[in-house]
Structure 1
């Protein structure tokens, strides 16, 4: 279950002096509170949604939103120095940015490693492949390297999602009779054409 919604935190309290309350018509003071609203995901603030200002007459205790009050009171309120939106209201956004940056870096590092692996294959390398049927995926494991030839065993199974490849990458799914040989340049072309789209190396 995903927990999300909106919430608010108190940013500042203060008092406006010498104002006339529209309810009791007394010249008095008003106590105000400024609340910062934010959206959250799993109780972590993700991004701010603006601010809400609530004022209370110190004489009659009637509460108002700022927009409900006369322009003179609104102008006096705006002259007060208010805190900006706190950084904690951006915490979730910062986490997401960091997560995406890490994913981008990890993917770039994987591709950098794969460029090395495809030039210098090793026994045990596992190639993630676009399967024999369009829209399906499988694996092939390097079992031997002789001069410029590479021998791989193809997995017995295919999956319809790349994320499912880890479920079929099991020793029992590689049968010796499914072994095929390729020239190194053939394997490199399959990688360039993205028929081999990922390489795992222990």
Structure 2
């Protein structure tokens, strides 16, 4: 279950002097509070939703939203210095942006390593492979390397989700007979994305 919603935090309190309350009509002062509204997911603020200004007459204690008050009071309120939107209200958005940047960088580095590993195969390398069987995924493990050939053993199992390939990459699943490829064939399989990922311990 995803917990999400809106909330607010108090940004500033202050007071406006020498104003006429529209309710009690006394010449008085008003206390105000500025609240910043924000959307959250799992109680982490994601982005701001604006501000709410609440004023209270110090004589009759009636509360007002700013838009309910006369222009004179609005003008005095606007002369007060109000803080901008707190950075905290963007914290969730910042986390999301950082996570995207991290995964993009990590993916880029993994691609660089894959390109390096495919050029110099090593015993124990595990190639994630798009199978010929109805878009299934499997793996093959490098068991031998010569000057121009690469020998592999295919995984006994296939899986229908690329992201779940780790579930079948187990030592006991490599019992099928050994196959041989030229290094050029391995490079071609990588180039056409049949081999799409390489894991080297």
Q: With structure 1 as the length reference, what TM-score do the two structures score?
A: 0.96
SS in 2 for 1:19: strand
Question: Helix, strand or coil: the match of 1:121?
Answer: coil
Q: In the TM superposition, what whole-angstrom CA distance separates every residue of 1:95-146 from its partner, at most 9, and x where no partner exists?
A: 1111111111111110111111000000110001111223211111111112
Secondary structure at the aligned position of 2:165 is classed as helix
What does 1:31-180 correspond to in 2, within 5 Å?
A: 31-177=31-177, 179-180=178-179
SS of residue paired to 2:89: helix
Q: What is the distance in 2 between the residues matched to 1:192 and 1:163?
A: 20
Aligned to 2:181: 182
Gap runs ≥5 in structure 1: none
Deviating above 3 A after TM superposition, structure 1's stretches of 4 or more consecutive aligned residues are: none
Matched residues in 2 for 1:103 and 1:17: separation? Answer: 54
> Does the aligned pair in 1 maintain the 2:21–2:28 contact within 8 Å?
yes
Deviations 1:75-96 (A, max 9, x none): 2211111001111111111111
Length-normalised TM-score, structure 2: 0.97
The residue that corresponds to 1:197 in the other structure is 196
Q: Does 1:15 pair with 2:12?
A: no
Provide the rounded CA distance (Å) in 1 between the counterparts of 2:103 and 2:90: 20
Q: Which runs of 5+ in 2 are unaligned?
A: none
Cα deviation, residue 176, structure 1: 3.9
What's the RMSD between the two structures over aligned residues?
A: 1.0
Task: Give secondary structure in 1 for the equivalent of 2:175.
Answer: strand
Secondary structure at the aligned position of 1:118 is classed as helix
Superposed CA offset, 1:34-59 (max 9, x none): 00111112221111111110000111
| SS class of match (1:175) | coil
The one-character-per-residue Cα deviations of 1:140-176 (angstroms, maximum 9, x if unpaired) are 1111112210011111111111111000001111114
Residues of 2 paired with 1:134 and 1:24: CA distance?
78
Partner Cα separation in structure 2 for residue 84 and residue 28 of structure 1: 28
